[in-house]
Chain A
Amino acid sequence: MTDIPARAAPSSVSGGSALLTLMKLRTFIALIAVLVFFSLAAPNFLSAANLILMAKHVALNAFLAMGMTFVIITGGIDLSVGSIVGLCGMVAGYLVLNGIDLQIGYTIYFNVFEIILITLVVGIAIGAVNGLLITRLNVAPFIATLGVLYVARGFALLSSDGRTFPNLVGKAELGTTGFGFLGAGRLFGLPVSIWILVVVALGAAYLAKYTPLGRHIFAVGGNERAARISGVRVNMVKMFVYMFSGFCAAIVGLIISSELMASHPATGESFELNAIAAAVLGGTSMSGGRGTIGGTIVGAFVIGILSDGLVMMGVSSFWQMVIKGLVIIVAVVVDQAQRRLQQRVSLMQMAKAG
């Protein structure tokens, strides 16, 4: 068994490296593949209007997936993001329609900027609850965020008795107009939500690569004990990733209610699964320590384009689910194969170096 790689080493090192490069770029290759396939198979697929529409769809999942990526890199999981989307949408809708009744005959109405700020704070606060449950009370991330999933969804439904807050146009005399800008507005020809995605993604990628906090996120996921001994404040790092995930979910909640000009309490159901799928497709390892923001964004685009393209081709939604599932499974299988190949190649290189 040992003599075969030894003999084959010179030729298969370069062969292995080429294959390895291909495998590392697999998400990009998948992205190009779906783009090429649908531009041939679906008419109008490559039209500017369609591409922008798809990007808007993808952006929603991409926000959640970015937050999820940091959480997964630390070795955790956040199942509550879908519910945070729903609850934050309801908070924004409630504030636009009703303001806050101070119970003394006065009601405070906030302008759109303040409403956005408050909603983001609510998202971050729910993330903080996740973080506190996990760091202080030692609840497993899966269970803690599952619990928060139900609680947040419950509050979203309670906030309106399960009804939709319709027609969030606001009143000019109260200064609550303009909520639609987030979802429908455009800057330099592109939707506002795309611009927000670009800003948040660049920020997150910068954080991951060039700040101590980013380095610490990877260290915690790679080896929590070693990180702790090296002086990393593990609990603070974990608090941050769940709060960031809540922040991303709040953005999504705002954008969706702004697009629809209405808040529905069931918004965001099962969004968490799409976010996990995008992160995993983008190369984030569920066992922690590995992942990139760029990969996750590409992963989100693959999933989004796949489902939109299939819709345009008229494939039934049932088949769409089957295809999406298969793509995710194949992605992880390739990921594992890449790991093994990488180990082999680096061992060979070490052997060659002596």
Chain B
Amino acid sequence: MSAGHDVILKLEDVSKVYAGTVAVKQANFEVRKGAVNVLVGENGAGKSTLMKIIAGVEKPTAGRILLEGEEVSFSSSGDAVNRGIGMVFQELNLFGNMTVAENIFATREITNRFRKIDRKAQEMRAGAFLDRLEAGIRPDMLVEDLRIGQQQLVEIAKAVSLDAKILIMDEPTSALSAAEVEILFKVIADLKARGVAIVYISHRLEELIRIGDYITVLRDGRITGQEEMANVDTQWIVRQMIGSDAKDFAKADGHQPGAEIFRAQEICLPRVTGGLAVDHVSLSLRAGEILGIYGLMGAGRSELFDCIMGRHGHASGRIFIAGKQVKERDTTRRIQRGLALIPEDRQREGLVPILSVASNLTLASLSRFVRLFHISGGAERGAVAQMVRELAIKVADPAQEVSSLSGGNQQKVVIGKALLTGPKVLLMDEPSRGIDVGAKADVFRTMRKLSRDGLGILFATSDLDEVMALSDRIAVMSNGRLTGMFDRAEATEAAIVAASALGHGPSPLAPAHLASAHGEQR
């Protein structure tokens, strides 16, 4: 690689191991001064872990970190900040109940002689940073009153105010409007000119190609490519991200899907921050078919499922089951009509942790076991035993608290709960997330079996291998819209990735469209 810029930070053979999984394997990574160092990879490839190591949030299990040629070891993020490393986190780390200025100067408040916080000085300095972001945010506004995009800008202003030598930005544009992205890019150019090294993580390929100087691609915790941005194109990035060695998934049994069992028409969900989180999505599913929905984070997959389940009162659009329109608007009655959701966040939405495995399994289908108003213990136990057997849930006693199970077995409980309602259409949101390999294989086998039994399965994932291997058809969502629909035979990874990036980043149409959406919100 040519050295147009000096290397300021260097990771040598850095690895990070969590209980059971290796998140980063022997990564060698260089950060160059006065340049935008782009880091790209699929979800779970290890980008965020790598950045957390640099920012001192996590300690590497092995390897060395060299800052300006000198070996360093950060014991906390405060340590890293003192050495000139700032980070804009993906999840917002702001205090909603405090003002913008208070947030920017949190933990390093400007005080006068008597240790009293000098509010005026803070607001003046904060105002200077905010002016550069041209966001129309006043320093005395409460953070919780701001739109998510504006909050992200505050987070950025906070990082910029650190006067960092190295600034890490983890998906800084995920909630920004096109116009705000332009401003952010101006700020980045400005920082670059002052010699700041910027590490930039994003899923949006056009964005990366536009502002990046150097690119590093991660796959499965390993660095698979490092290049100057001038020498690469989208195809190269996609190739490095996906790799050539496809993983081995159980093949389909070749049964033919039946008649249409589910149809969604023009599903729309307005976003709190303006615009649409789900933007006129229509799709159709046949009995015995697995339809994979691929999309990056924030593409609107989960929101689409929420709309179908009736979790958002203000969503619009129509859904049909076996040709009959579902007019019921609440979750309870939609479950009765044959819809069931396996939510993405098992802990927060899937399980009642302090109840037993058995109570969790039958929670959604209690009415099946009720005579008059009495839960028939025998019928319930029978159904529980059957599910435990069918899904191979490893549990000594179904009366055990569900929280004592491993992640994979917990996920099977959530699936069992949905199956006991006797669904016609199963919505699975990232069904393999956070579970071990064996349980994953079990889950995939179950999906195949269910589709053979005639269930329609919609499953959302951000794992390309998974969607390619399991789906009969693949739908791609981006920015709330359906941007592609492929038969398995004709789908290629490159086409899917390209479709998942559509509608992101600055496009000539976007600003006007977004501006009008923002205007409507209040």
Q: Mark A222-236, 1 if CB is under 8 A from B, else 0.
A: 110111111111000
- Interface pair A226/B348, CB less than 8 Å apart: yes
Partner of B354 from A213, A222, A230, A346 at Cβ < 8 Å: A222
B370 at the interface (CB under 8 A from A): yes
Given contacts A210-B375, A212-B370, contact A218 B355 (CB under 8 A): yes
Within the complex, what minimum Cβ distance (angstroms) separates B443 from chain A? 19
Which residues from A are CB-within-8-Å of B374?
210-211
- Interface pair A229/B352, CB less than 8 Å apart: no
Given contacts A210-B374, A211-B375, contact A231 B359 (CB under 8 A): no
- Interface pair B351/A226, CB less than 8 Å apart: yes
- Interface pair B349/A215, CB less than 8 Å apart: no
Within the complex, what minimum Cβ distance (angstroms) separates B201 from chain A? 29
A183 at the interface (CB under 8 A from B): no
- Interface pair A225/B367, CB less than 8 Å apart: no
Give the residue name and chain of the B residue nearest to A227 (CB): B352
- Interface pair B352/A231, CB less than 8 Å apart: no
A→B interface (CB under 8 Å): 210-213, 215-216, 218-219, 222-223, 225-233, 289-290, 346, 350, 353
- Interface pair B375/A229, CB less than 8 Å apart: no
- Which 4 residue pairs across A and B have the least CB separation, nearest first? A222-B352, A230-B364, A212-B366, A231-B335
- Interface pair B350/A226, CB less than 8 Å apart: yes
B114 at the interface (CB under 8 A from A): no
- Interface pair A219/B355, CB less than 8 Å apart: yes
Which of the listed residues A232, A233, A290, A353 has the most CB atoms from chain B within 10 Å of its own CB?
A232
Which residues from A are CB-within-8-Å of B367?
212
- Interface pair B332/A232, CB less than 8 Å apart: yes
What's the Cα separation between A219 and B352 when bound, in Å?
6
Which residues from A are CB-within-8-Å of B309?
229
Which of the listed residues A215, A231, A346 has the most CB atoms from chain B within 10 Å of its own CB?
A231
What's the Cα separation between A218 and B359 when bound, in Å?
10
B→A interface (CB under 8 Å): 309, 311, 330-332, 335-336, 341, 343, 348-355, 359, 363-364, 366-367, 370, 373-375, 377, 396, 401, 404, 417, 421
Give the residue name and chain of the B residue nearest to A350 (CB): B404
Given contacts A210-B374, A212-B375, A233-B332, contact A218 B364 (CB under 8 A): no
Within the complex, what minimum Cβ distance (angstroms) separates B242 from chain A? 33
What's the Cα separation between A346 and B349 when bound, in Å?
24
- Interface pair B352/A226, CB less than 8 Å apart: yes
Given contacts A210-B375, A229-B343, contact A223 B359 (CB under 8 A): no
What's the Cα separation between A225 and B366 when bound, in Å?
18
- Interface pair A227/B363, CB less than 8 Å apart: yes
- Interface pair A215/B363, CB less than 8 Å apart: yes
What's the Cα separation between A215 and B56 when bound, in Å?
45
- Interface pair A231/B353, CB less than 8 Å apart: no
Given contacts A211-B374, A212-B367, A229-B331, contact A218 B352 (CB under 8 A): yes
What's the Cα separation between A222 and B403 when bound, in Å?
12
Which residues from A are CB-within-8-Å of B363?
215, 219, 226-227, 230, 232
20 extra interface residue pairs, beta carbon distance < 8 Å, beyond A227-B352, A230-B335: A211-B373, A212-B370, A212-B373, A223-B349, A223-B353, A225-B348, A226-B348, A226-B349, A226-B350, A226-B351, A226-B352, A227-B363, A228-B311, A228-B331, A229-B311, A229-B349, A231-B421, A289-B352, A289-B354, A290-B354
What's the Cα separation between A222 and B349 when bound, in Å?
11
Which residues from A are CB-within-8-Å of B349?
223, 225-226, 229
Which residues from A are CB-within-8-Å of B359?
215, 218-219
Which of the listed residues B309, B353, B355, B396 has the most CB atoms from chain A within 10 Å of its own CB?
B355
Label chain A's interface by main secondary structure: helix
What's the Cα separation between A226 and B350 when bound, in Å?
5
Which residues from A are CB-within-8-Å of B375?
210-212, 215
What's the Cα separation between A126 and B42 when bound, in Å?
55
Partner of A346 from B336, B352, B370, B404 at Cβ < 8 Å: B404
What's the Cα separation between A131 and B121 when bound, in Å?
48
What's the Cα separation between A91 and B410 when bound, in Å?
52
Within the complex, what minimum Cβ distance (angstroms) separates A243 from chain B? 17
Which residues from A are CB-within-8-Å of B311?
228-229
Within the complex, what minimum Cβ distance (angstroms) separates B403 from chain A? 9
Q: Can you show 22 pairs from A to B with CB atoms below 8 A apart? A: A210-B377, A212-B370, A213-B373, A215-B363, A215-B375, A216-B366, A218-B355, A219-B352, A219-B359, A223-B348, A225-B349, A226-B343, A229-B311, A229-B331, A229-B343, A230-B335, A230-B417, A231-B421, A233-B330, A233-B332, A289-B355, A346-B404
What's the Cα separation between A210 and B348 when bound, in Å?
26
Which residues from B are CB-within-8-Å of A227?
352, 363
Which of the listed residues A212, A218, A230, A290 has the most CB atoms from chain B within 10 Å of its own CB?
A230
What's the Cα separation between A223 and B350 when bound, in Å?
9
Within the complex, what minimum Cβ distance (angstroms) separates B93 from chain A? 23
Which residues from A are CB-within-8-Å of B377?
210
Within the complex, what minimum Cβ distance (angstroms) separates B346 from chain A? 9
What's the Cα separation between A230 and B346 when bound, in Å?
12
What's the Cα separation between A216 and B373 when bound, in Å?
13
Within the complex, what minimum Cβ distance (angstroms) separates A283 from chain B? 13
Which residues from B are CB-within-8-Å of A290?
354
Within the complex, what minimum Cβ distance (angstroms) separates A238 from chain B? 14
Which of the listed residues B352, B370, B374 has the most CB atoms from chain A within 10 Å of its own CB?
B352
Within the complex, what minimum Cβ distance (angstroms) separates A212 from chain B? 4
What's the Cα separation between A177 and B167 when bound, in Å?
84
Partner of A223 from B330, B352, B396, B404 at Cβ < 8 Å: B352
What's the Cα separation between A346 and B356 when bound, in Å?
14
Give the residue name and chain of the A residue nearest to B306 (CB): A229
Within the complex, what minimum Cβ distance (angstroms) separates B404 from chain A? 5
- Interface pair A353/B352, CB less than 8 Å apart: no
Give the residue name and chain of the A residue nearest to B342 (CB): A229
Which of the listed residues B336, B349, B354 has the most CB atoms from chain A within 10 Å of its own CB?
B354
What's the Cα separation between A289 and B359 when bound, in Å?
13
Within the complex, what minimum Cβ distance (angstroms) separates A342 from chain B? 9
Within the complex, what minimum Cβ distance (angstroms) separates A205 from chain B? 13
Given contacts A212-B370, A350-B404, A353-B396, contact A231 B351 (CB under 8 A): no
Partner of B355 from A213, A222, A225 at Cβ < 8 Å: A222
Within the complex, what minimum Cβ distance (angstroms) separates B10 from chain A? 34
Which residues from B are CB-within-8-Å of A229?
309, 311, 331, 341, 343, 349-350
Partner of A231 from B331, B354, B355 at Cβ < 8 Å: B331
What's the Cα separation between A222 and B367 when bound, in Å?
20
What's the Cα separation between A211 and B375 when bound, in Å?
5
Which residues from B are CB-within-8-Å of A232?
332, 363
Which residues from B are CB-within-8-Å of A216?
366
Which residues from A are CB-within-8-Å of B366?
212, 215-216
Which residues from A are CB-within-8-Å of B404?
346, 350
Which residues from A are CB-within-8-Å of B335?
230-231
Which residues from A are CB-within-8-Å of B332?
231-233
What's the Cα separation between A258 and B290 when bound, in Å?
67
Which residues from A are CB-within-8-Å of B352?
218-219, 222-223, 226-227, 289
Which residues from B are CB-within-8-Å of A228?
311, 331
Which of the listed residues B351, B363, B367 has the most CB atoms from chain A within 10 Å of its own CB?
B363
What's the Cα separation between A218 and B375 when bound, in Å?
15
Within the complex, what minimum Cβ distance (angstroms) separates A195 from chain B? 23
What's the Cα separation between A62 and B356 when bound, in Å?
28
What's the Cα separation between A299 and B359 when bound, in Å?
26
Which of the listed residues A212, A229, A289, A346 has the most CB atoms from chain B within 10 Å of its own CB?
A229
What's the Cα separation between A218 and B355 when bound, in Å?
8
What's the Cα separation between A210 and B375 when bound, in Å?
5
